[in-house]
């Protein structure tokens, strides 16, 4: 089985490696523009589908695409533009609940299997010192919502749903799809 991950995310790569999947990485060049009129769930799924399509070569390969967003009070929090944007996002999320949505798509033989996974995340109170130290670490600058649950900072109080989804890929869902299409 020739599997391709259409993502340059080191977290998605690590999750699939830990699941024992053999694959290669070919990053997607799909432009992630905001689309009006789509729910955050459908937007995420749309991005994942188009990332997978942009890499799919029409041969016997299986392509996995994904995109993760954070939604707080109806606002999509993507990757921060800079440190100030990261501080602003983390301040919003502090002591609040938000939704992490990962859209996923798997293509084989021209057939698309896609959907999305949602996880509710509740943050601890984040002091300004903690936020500044975390942002200065550089870690939040390439992550949706300006944080990684796996980064070792005491950000998250509780989750309801799939931990791996918050990291960036609902691995069990992907493995289930792969078993069904082999």
Residues with catalytic roles: 67
User: 29-67 burial string, b = 16+ CB within 10 Å, else e?
Assistant: ebeeeeeeeeebbebbbbbbbbbbbbbbeeeebbbbbbb
Any idea what the Cα angle at residue 31 is, between residues 26 and 32, rounded to 5°?
A: 105
Positive or negative, the CA dihedral 144, 149, 154, 157 is: positive
In angstroms, the first-to-last Cα distance of the chain is 8
Taking the alpha carbons of 172, 56, 5, 46 in that order, is the dihedral positive or negative?
A: negative
């Amino acid at each position: 089985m020739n599997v391709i991950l259409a993502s340059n995310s080191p977290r998605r790569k690590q999750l699939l490696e830990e699941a024992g999947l053999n694959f290669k990485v070919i990053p997607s060049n799909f432009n992630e523009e905001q689309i009006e009129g789509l729910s955050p769930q459908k937007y995420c799924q749309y991005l994942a589908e188009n990332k997978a399509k942009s890499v799919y070569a029409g041969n016997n390969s299986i392509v996995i695409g994904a995109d993760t967003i954070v939604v707080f009070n109806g606002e999509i929090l993507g990757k921060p533009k800079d440190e100030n944007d990261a501080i602003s996002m983390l301040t919003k999320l502090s002591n609040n609940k938000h939704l992490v949505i990962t859209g996923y798509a798997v293509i084989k033989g021209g057939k698309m299997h896609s959907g999305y996974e949602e996880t509710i995340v509740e943050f601890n109170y984040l002091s300004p010192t903690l936020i500044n130290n975390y942002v200065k670490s550089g870690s939040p600058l390439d992550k949706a919502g300006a944080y990684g649950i796996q980064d070792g900072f005491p950000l998250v109080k509780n989750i309801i749903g799939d931990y791996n989804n918050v990291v960036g890929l609902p691995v069990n869902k992907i493995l289930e799809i792969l078993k069904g299409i082999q």
